[in-house]
Every structure is written in structure tokens, then in C-alpha cells.
Amino acid sequence: MVRFGIIGTNWITESFIQAASKVEEFSLTAVYSRTSNKALEFADKYGAEHTYTDLNEFVKSPEFDAVYIASPNSLHASQAVLCMQNGKHVICEKPIASNADEVSKMIAAAKENNVVLMEALKTTQLPNFLAIKENLHKIGKVRRYFASYCQYSSRYDKYKEGTVLNAFKPEFSNGSLMDIGIYCVYPAVALFGEPNEVKASSYMLESGVDGEGSLLLSYDEMDAVIMYSKITNSYVPSEIQGENGSMIIDKIHTPESVKIQYKDGTVEDITREQVSESMYYEAKEFISLVSENIQQSELNSHQNSIITARILETARKQVGLIYPADQK
């Protein structure tokens, strides 16, 4: 059994708990929140026995072994390092940190304290992402990766009315690239590694974060074209183009349908059944790593997280998107 504590009592945490509860070895025992009412309410809802409002007390607690962190992005690194220094395994919501320097410090803390650190990026653990990876050779030499994820934010209407919620605040290391674009970037890194060059363009909002943008990643023999947005919707699928055919992916963030269209006109459906919620697979992976004393995930690896962080940071610098976290 892996006993969990959680930092962050929001909808994403609820989704994680509901999915992780289907993993036999999962147990929720502790909740941290800045307010006792919120901690108690959340703990009561999910059957956790222990609540904390002091982070230092929480990390020293003997009541849990691992922590799921879903606080604002700007707090991920400091909270994760503190947890790991106190012997806790950490699964941290994406993006794992504000910048590459923070990710490096987190990886160092994981190694020093012999604990698991994993970025909670659901996409790369899903059955249909594994189908993409395992069937990629069928399309021949890959020449282009195209990924689009544009989702109109439920908080954007409030923004237009003059209320800037956390999702659009630079002090929380937020914005379109970090919240949405990462779902296009991380799979590219998991499949093709680190690009030689990154070119970025974005539309910046007055609050100081990006509303939408595009990336071009250049590799030796291919490129990756990425579109992302929090202020528009897109309905086009993503695609990996090879010399022998193209792989068509319905949704890059949560692929549910994957087909190969070969250049001779034939189509092969390589879709795999997904038997549980999308977050179940990342929870299962993390719990397996903790149970088997394996330091990091093969796909959600330290290397893939740091490369992704470098790409995001390079892109942000090009469009002039600087967070307070970058200036520390």
C-alpha cells in the first residue's frame, strides 16, 4: 500500500483521487491546505484521516509515503523539494516547475533522497500513446509531427469582464503554453527527444501571460509544428507524417483514436481500449515505481521533463514571457 498526502484541493486533485482510487495499492491519508476548513472538508469527502495547515508539519508527517502536488505552478518546485528532503515520493502536476533550473533542483533532490519524482503528464501513460510509440516504425522515416491543442478557457470570459483569475496570472507561472501547450510538447519529446532549435510566437494578454501561440521545433531530419490556445477552440486532429504513411491522432492530449493512413490508401486502426479515466494510468505508473523502488518513469522520465522545461523556457524567452520565478 502506498499512502498519499495531497497538496492542492481543487478539481484536478479530485480527478486524480477518483482515478488513483482504482489502483489497488492507493490510499489517501493526509490533506494539506492553507485553511483548516478546506482541509477538513476535502479530507472528509475522500476519507483522509489527517489534515494539515502548516506545510512543514505536513512534510514531516509519518502518516504518508508519497505526495501528489497540484498547487499553482510557481509553488511546485519549493514544495516538491521540501517533500523530498523529508523522504516523500513526489508526483507533481504538469508543468512540473516554472523553468529548467527549478526542474534541475527537483531532480537533484530526488536523487539525494532516493525518492521517486514524476511529472503528472497523463498523455504519455495512456494506452493509445503507447500504441503511437510502438507502431511509429510503420510509417517509415518521420518528417513532421503536427500537434494542436486549443481549448477556450472557462476562465477567459471572466478575464474579458475584467476579473483576472489565477489561470491568467504570471506570478503563478501560468498561461497557454504552460497549461495547454505542454500537452503537445511533452509527447514530441517522449517520441523524438530534444530539438536542435525552437522558434516561438505568441499572442500576449495584458495580464502578462500568453493567450495562444505556436512553436516550430527543428530536428535533424524532421520538424514539429505545434499550436496551442486558451482563448480559442480547435477541432483538428494531430498527425505524425512519415514517408510511408501518416498517423492520425484524434486528440494529442488524451488520444482515444489512432489510425495509420498509408500512402497506398489503406488504413490501419491501431486504437487501444482505455478501460479507466485518463489519470488512472499516471497514478498506476507512479505507484508501481514507488512499490518497486524504481527511481523514475521510463516515459515520464527526469530527462523528458527537463527537456520539456527547456523548450518551454526557450519559447517564453522568445516571446518575452518572464515569470517572477525566472528572476529568483
Report, as residue numbers or ranges, the catalytic residues: 94, 183
Q: What SS3 state is found at 110?
A: helix
Nearest to 29 by CA among 71, 59, 65, 57: 65
Which cell numbers in the block locate residue 6? 495531497
Q: Cα(69)–Cα(174) distance, rounded to whole angstroms?
A: 16
Q: Which segments within the chain are labelled E, that is strand?
A: 2-7, 26-32, 50-52, 66-69, 89-93, 117-120, 142-150, 197-204, 210-218, 223-229, 238-242, 245-249, 258-262, 267-269
How do beta strands 2-7 and 26-32 pair? parallel
Q: Do the Cβ atoms of 110 and 295 come closer than 8 Å? A: yes
Q: Do the Cβ atoms of 78 and 325 come closer than 8 Å? A: no
Nearest to 12 by CA among 178, 148, 170, 179: 179
